Structure 1
Amino acid sequence: MSQNLLLGPTCQSCGVALIDKGDFGTNTAGAIVTDYCKFCFVKGEFVDPDITLEEMIVKSTAAIGKKKGINAGKAEAMAERILPGLDRWKAKH
């Protein structure tokens, strides 16, 4: 689980902050998985197993913009900077 001392744990697929129990993904038994969020990982599997890093950047841009209150260009730049360093994408780049 990646943990930023200021932000706490983040999903290692999309970068969303994992704050409450309900934010975390689950394993095959339904227990919390601390590395991924509920939007990316359910019942031990990625929700979208074939998504590419580039597709995840596009998918994450709107959510980042809305959450941070920034325009799409800044949100995309943030996603391009953060996502490649997450565990799911490190091995692929």
Structure 2
Amino acid sequence: MDDSPSAARGDTRTDVSTGRTDARGSATRARARLRELADQLRDDRDTVDDPRTRALFGTTANLLAALDDAFADVEDHLAAARPTGLRLVPDPPAQPGT
């Protein structure tokens, strides 16, 4: 049984035939959380008085936006690497006497 935090949240998506998790789904969920936190920090930045805290919130929001871009690149790469449905078909067996 998987007792990991991701399994507890129901985040694990596993291909039964290969036992591998779905990286695209993980990247999509991570991107949503990054954007949500960046938006929250930008909103909170406007409510604090301390200039250092404002700068920290703004810088962190920008960093999270850059991470979101990196995850988008990963999703694009995974989508490009997705099988197209074509598969190699072996040559037919040789006929006797040919």
TM-score normalised over the length of structure 2: 0.32
Q: Which protein is richer in helix relative to its size?
A: 2
Bigger strand share: 1
Q: TM-score, normalization: structure 1? A: 0.33
